[in-house]
């Protein structure tokens, strides 16, 4: 897996962990709260739920886009195999030249 993919997954896991911790903190806060504290608690809970929903939507969209890109790439390579081979060879030559310069 590329480093950016791993970094994104770690960030998403960290975000989920923070949201879970905030949720646990909200649940464990004292039962005797005044009206202002209750309103603040509800506002935080609403924002937390909205953030979770947006994160889930973004994750679904990212997965869908990745699958679409992989499908399009696969179709292109099957439809134009020699073009794909030529492009891969050209990229290999350029990378080889760049690495060889060091």
| One-character DSSP codes across 39-82 | HHHHHHHHHHHHHHHHHHHHHHHHHHHHHHHHHHHHHHHHH-HH
> pTM here?
0.51
Q: What b-and-e string marks burial along 86-101, b requiring 16 or more CB atoms within 10 Å of the CB?
A: eeeeeeeeeeeeeeee
The answer to whether 59 touches 66, Cβ cutoff 8 Å, is no
pLDDT digit string, tens, across residues 30-57: 555 667 667 777 777 787 777 778 778 8
Average pLDDT over the chain, rounded to whole?
Answer: 80
Residues in the chain: 102
Domain range summary for the chain, segments of one domain joined by +: 3-100
* Residues above pLDDT 90, as percent of the chain: 34
């Amino acid at each position: 897996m590329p480093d950016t993919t791993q970094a994104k997954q770690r960030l998403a896991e960290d975000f989920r962990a923070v949201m879970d911790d905030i949720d646990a903190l909200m649940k464990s806060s004292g039962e005797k709260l005044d009206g202002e504290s209750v309103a603040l608690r509800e506002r935080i809970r609403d924002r937390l739920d909205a953030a979770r929903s947006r994160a889930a939507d973004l994750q679904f969209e990212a997965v869908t886009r990745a699958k679409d890109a992989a499908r399009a790439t696969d179709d292109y390579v099957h439809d134009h195999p020699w073009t794909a081979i030529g492009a891969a060879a050209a990229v290999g030559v350029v990378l080889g030249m760049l690495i060889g310069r060091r």
